[in-house]
Structure 1
Amino acid sequence: MTDIASLPYRPCAGVMLLNREGKVFVGQRLDSVVEAWQMPQGGIDPGEEPLDAAFRELGEETGIARHHADLLAESPGELFYDLPEDLVGKIWKGKWRGQRQRWFLFRFLGEDNDIDIQTAEPEFRAWRWVEPSALPDLIVPFKRALYTEILELFAAHLR
């Protein structure tokens, strides 16, 4: 049995994408059996800047081109979450205890038809726009505190 506390956090970038109506993009993960929706996010490659990772992940998960997203704000530091103990050995080959994330707030400059979740390596089976306040209720329970913190960080930009 691995000592979970000795495992590192996976470096990650997350994207809160706002449309013109002030709603946030969420996708329903392909690999999840629970009714959970999340914002785009993913690992930061070695040597990659967090902002570049955020744009890359946005493209990989939503098909949204970089010119359709405008940076509004970023988290001043990293936000952390821990995986539930029963998932630690099952996700990321047991290498990580959770994630340390840099979050970025983007304004979506495109149209809905600029979004295509059928990417080269799809992560979402469905997507929609939601009110920011709905985010904590849509995410898996172990990420609720994280999503609440993101809402607080970007509150000045949310209607």
Structure 2
Amino acid sequence: MKNNKSYRPNVAAIVLSSNYPDKCEFFVAQRTDIKGAWQFPQGGIDKGETPLYALFRELKEEIGTDEIEVIAEHPVWIKYDFPAGVSKKLYPFDGQKQKYFLVRLKNNANINIQTDVPEFDEYEFVDYKELFEKVTHFKKQVYRQVIDYFKKEGYL
């Protein structure tokens, strides 16, 4: 049976504080358009962009800095479907296929979520347990899958 779903190509960043590797603190932010929806920075890959280029562009657009060190890249694209309530008018896709990167903020990085078009209105650095208490329900499984991979590989 053929899957007729369409997925938007996307990058996502698991941003660790500059305290890594001494302390493992994950950056999460609350979306401006959906109160209570906390997530990692992410965004679409524009035509002609590589995932790595899109990663740096999206971080600059969403958290005001691209002052990061890339620690690792997840080896496969991961798909997820949008929840049933997401309007096809808002997103002409059924979900997203994402390339995940594990990154560390450089010591001099300054986060500023008050960007030209703010996507987040709050952010925090949280530990592993708090991360899964905070993030939006439909992303927990994907986040756990990706973080477990990076843990298995010895990055976390």
Aligned to 2:27: 25
Alignment-mate amino acid for residue 9 of structure 2? P
Give the ranges of 4+ consecutive aligned residues of structure 1 lying more than 3 Å apart after TM superposition: none
Aligned to 1:15: 13
Change beyond 3 A, Cα 1:136–1:90:
farther
What is the CA–CA distance in structure 2 between the aligned matches of 1:41 and 1:30, rounded to whole Å? 14
Change beyond 3 A, Cα 1:118–1:82:
same
What is the CA–CA distance in structure 2 between the aligned matches of 1:76 and 1:123, rounded to whole Å? 27
Q: CA deviation at 1:89?
A: 2.1
SS in 1 for 2:55: helix
1:51 maps onto 2:43 in alignment? no
Alignment-mate amino acid for residue 106 of structure 1? V
Change beyond 3 A, Cα 1:91–1:135:
farther
What is the CA–CA distance in structure 2 between the aligned matches of 1:147 and 1:14, rounded to whole Å? 10
Q: CA deviation at 1:146?
A: 0.6
Aligned to 1:148: 144
Tell me how large the CA RMSD over aligned residues is: 1.5
Aligned to 2:76: 77
Q: What TM-score do you get using the length of structure 2 for normalisation?
A: 0.88
Which has more helix, going by share of residues?
A: 1
SS in 2 for 1:58: helix
Q: CA deviation at 1:47?
A: 1.3
What is the CA–CA distance in structure 2 between the aligned matches of 1:154 and 1:53, rounded to whole Å? 21
Q: CA deviation at 1:134?
A: 2.7
Q: CA deviation at 1:141?
A: 1.2
Q: What TM-score do you get using the length of structure 1 for normalisation?
A: 0.86
Residues paired across the two proteins, number:
148
Extract unaligned runs of 5+ from structure 1.
none
Query: In percent, how many aligned pairs have the same letter?
Result: 39
Matches within 5 A, 1:32-111: 32-33=34-35, 35-65=36-66, 68-92=67-91, 95-111=92-108
Q: CA deviation at 1:88?
A: 4.4
Q: CA deviation at 1:111?
A: 4.5
Aligned to 1:157: 155
